Structure formats: C-alpha cells, structure tokens
C-alpha cells in the first residue's frame, strides 16, 4: 500500500523538472547553451554529479509503501470491517535497499568500523566469572560511521537526512516562487494602489526577523500532524496521502519568510520591462493587460526565479539544521542532520570523545551545501552575468 507525504510531491516535482531540463538540453536551444557554459568548469561538473547523487537518494527515500500485516500462516490480516491491515511503518525504497544497515543495531556506541563496543559492560564468561570489558559487536566492522547511543547505524541516519535536506532546500522556494512572481509582476506592471498594497505587505512581512516568525509559526502549527515515524490512520486521507506533514509546514513558513526578496527583485525588473518597446507595442495593439503580463513579462523574469532558487538552496539546508537544533525544525522522528547534531551535542564532552555522530552529520551536510553553492554561482554567471556584481 503506497504512502505519499505532502513533501514527497516536492521531491517528485524536482525530479520531473530536472528530467525535463535534461531532456531539453539535447538539441539547439537556450538550455543547451547554458549547459555548454556550465560544462566548461570541472568543479561545476563535479558539483552537478554530487547534487544528482543526493537527489537520487532523496527520491529513493520518497517512494514508500506499507506492507500488509501477515499472520503466522502468511495470509493477510483482515480487520473486522473487512479491510486489509497494514503495518504502521511506511518503509521507503531506500530503507528496503539498506535494510541491513537499518536493522543491524548494536546496544550502544561503537567507533567507526570497530569490532568491540565503545562502552564497557559486565560480561559473564563461560566459567561463570564476571568481568567488566568491552563486549564484541553483533555486526563487527560493518558500521562505516560507527553507531549512536542507542546502537543505530550512524551512516544510515546520515543518509536518511538527505531527503529532509533536499525537501527543505527546494520545497520552501517551490512553494513561494509562484506567489512571488504573481505579486511581483502585479506590483510592477499595474503600479498605483496595487503596487502600494503589495509593497506594504512585503515590507511588513520582511520586517519581522525570519527566525522569530518561524518560531511563532512552528510553535503554533508544527505540533500537530505527522511528525515522521509511524503512520496512524488519522494522518491518512484516501488511505495513502498524508497532507498534514510537519516538514511541509516548515517548508511553507520558510517560503513565507523568503519570498519577499524575490518579490522585490521581480517588481524592479517588471518596472524596467514595462517600458520596453515590445511591451509598448503589444499595448498599442490593444492586447489585454493580463495577457501582456503573462506572455511578455513573466517569461523574462523566470531566470530571476531560477537564480533565487539555487542561491537560497544552501541557506535553507543550513537553516534546517539550526532550526531542528532549536527544537522548532523537523519532528524528532524525522531523520535529519539537525536532529543528529541535537542528540549528539554533548558527546564531545564525553571522555573518551564520541565524535562520529557529529562528524557524519556535518560531512553529509557540507557535501550537499558546498556543491550547491558552487552550482548556484555557476548558474548565476551563466544566466545573468550582470548579477555577479550586485552582491551575494
């Protein structure tokens, strides 16, 4: 039985966009010229490869389904109402592929690729004598990044953080871009009262410091709905869709706090485009205003939206870790690097030091944010060389 979270749609949408753009890159057009521009730098190519790798892991982690509960004879269990019963765990394709890592848990901490546990325990030897020593691991030398406090594989936890990172980094911008385009073009194109009102709205919203607005929003909305982990019947509609997903709320509020910059940018660009000859000509022909805005303005500001999309990505991924650390990010049961750092925050003060949890989270995050930054710079240079001057 498939389960689709609201945030899965974000991942699927991104994959669809990437495939579409890749498809367009063949043939002689705008996309292929940009691709040629990007291809020139080897660093950009490496970044694209890494980003694609992360995206495919995130996709594999977004395709999930629930198994039916089997009775000892191997038949499906049927409830009294005549419905088939499903396990509350919706395992993703990634969970199933890496099922070895997921289920091979130890008792407690163990160092990377160790054969013995990290903490001492009282062990009963064959002769009945008891000694305090490091017990052997159940699955020695298999944990690439060691295990955490409850014995879970750290590498697996870090891989599970990939989907959350990608969803946060893309979801917020995907949600806000249509609104930013709509309001920005309206404000710039129509001017007057409409412009005043829209400017007032975004100045007001942007004057509330982002973190505090996110705090307020998540305290109020984030505590209900699906928090990650087990799926209950009240989360589901139509038996497979989970609309009220905490991660989705987080994307939404991050979108609300970040749309104002893009809206302002688009308004300014529209003001310029409005005066160009071809727009004036369309006006002289008597083309309705809304159609001019849709046909002549919107296509010419789309590159701004794309640049903002890639520039915001790394900021959002970093913000997720901070917010989850503060306890207002993703739910505690959602695998994320912020949650890993939060649970491991005191491990460096242990003696001897437990470092692998933190290092794994930071390395995985860094390996996403650095390529994203490099890719964003390349995209910006390729799409709009003028922007290179204007700051970040």
Give the binding site for other proteins (CB under 8 A): 200-201, 203-205, 207-209, 211-213, 215-217, 219-221, 314, 318, 321-322, 325-328, 338, 341, 345, 348-349, 353, 358, 362, 365-366, 369-370, 372-374, 377, 388-392
Least separation in angstroms between CB 389 and other proteins: 5
Least separation in angstroms between CB 292 and other proteins: 31
Q: Contact at 8 Å (CB) between 306 and 379?
A: yes
How far lies 140's CA from each of 14, 93, 136, 150, in Å? 39, 25, 7, 16
Nearest to other proteins of 77, 223 (CB atom): 223
Nearest to other proteins of 22, 43 (CB atom): 43
Helix (H, G, I), strand (E, B) or coil at 275: coil
Q: Contact at 8 Å (CB) between 360 and 143?
A: no
Nearest to other proteins of 12, 221 (CB atom): 221
Nearest to other proteins of 180, 311 (CB atom): 311
How far lies 24's CA from each of 45, 54, 138, 317, in Å? 18, 22, 50, 28
* Angle, alpha carbons 346-350-351 (nearest 5°): 170
Least separation in angstroms between CB 343 and other proteins: 13
User: What single string gives the DSSP state of each residue in 312-348?
Assistant: HHHHHHHHHHHHHHHT-SS-TTS--HHHHHHHTTTGG
Upstream peptide bond of 161 is cis (omega within 30 degrees of 0) = no
Q: What is the DSSP letter of 261?
A: H
Nearest to other proteins of 102, 246 (CB atom): 246
Nearest to other proteins of 101, 162 (CB atom): 162
In the block, which residue shows the tokens 């390349």?
Answer: 378
Least separation in angstroms between CB 377 and other proteins: 7
In angstroms, how far is CA 136 from the centroid of its own chain?
A: 37
Nearest to other proteins of 17, 43 (CB atom): 43
Least separation in angstroms between CB 143 and other proteins: 22
Least separation in angstroms between CB 121 and other proteins: 26
Least separation in angstroms between CB 244 and other proteins: 15
């Amino acid at each position: 039985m498939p389960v689709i979270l609201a945030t899965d749609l974000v991942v699927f949408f991104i994959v669809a966009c990437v495939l579409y753009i890749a498809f367009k890159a063949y043939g002689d057009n705008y996309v292929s010229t940009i691709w040629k521009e990007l291809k020139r730098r080897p660093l950009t190519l490496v970044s694209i490869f890494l980003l694609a790798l992360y995206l495919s892991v995130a996709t594999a982690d977004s395709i999930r389904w629930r198994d039916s509960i089997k009775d000892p004879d191997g038949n499906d269990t049927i409830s009294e109402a005549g419905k088939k019963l499903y396990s509350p765990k919706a395992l993703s394709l990634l969970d199933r592929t890496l099922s070895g890592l997921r289920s091979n848990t130890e008792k407690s901490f163990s160092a990377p690729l160790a054969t013995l546990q990290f903490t001492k325990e009282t062990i009963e030897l064959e002769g009945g004598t008891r000694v305090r020593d490091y017990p052997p691991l159940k699955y020695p030398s298999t944990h690439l990044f060691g295990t955490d406090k409850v014995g879970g594989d750290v590498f697996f936890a870090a891989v599970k953080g990939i989907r959350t990172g990608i969803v946060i980094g893309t979801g917020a911008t995907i949600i806000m871009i249509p609104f930013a385009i709509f309001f920005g073009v309206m404000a710039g194109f129509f001017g007057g009262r409409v412009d005043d009102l829209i400017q007032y709205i975004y100045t007001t919203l942007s004057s509330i410091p982002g973190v505090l607005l996110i705090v307020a929003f998540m305290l109020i909305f984030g505590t209900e709905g699906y928090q990650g982990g087990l799926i209950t019947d009240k989360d589901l509609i139509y038996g497979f869709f989970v609309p009220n997903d905490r991660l989705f709320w987080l994307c939404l509020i991050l979108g609300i706090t970040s749309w104002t910059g893009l809206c302002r940018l688009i308004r300014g660009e529209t003001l310029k485009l409005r005066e160009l000859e071809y727009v004036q000509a369309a006006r002289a022909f008597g083309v309705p205003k809304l159609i001019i805005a849709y046909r002549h303005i919107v296509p010419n500001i789309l590159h701004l939206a794309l640049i903002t999309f890639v520039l915001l990505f790394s900021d959002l991924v970093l913000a997720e870790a901070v917010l989850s650390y503060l306890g207002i990010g993703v739910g505690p049961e959602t695998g994320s690097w912020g949650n890993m750092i939060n649970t491991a925050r005191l491990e460096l003060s242990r003696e001897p030091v437990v470092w692998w949890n933190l290092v794994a989270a930071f390395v995985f995050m860094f390996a996403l944010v650095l390529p994203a930054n490099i890719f964003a710079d390349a995209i910006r240079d390729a799409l709009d060389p003028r922007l290179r001057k204007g700051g970040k």
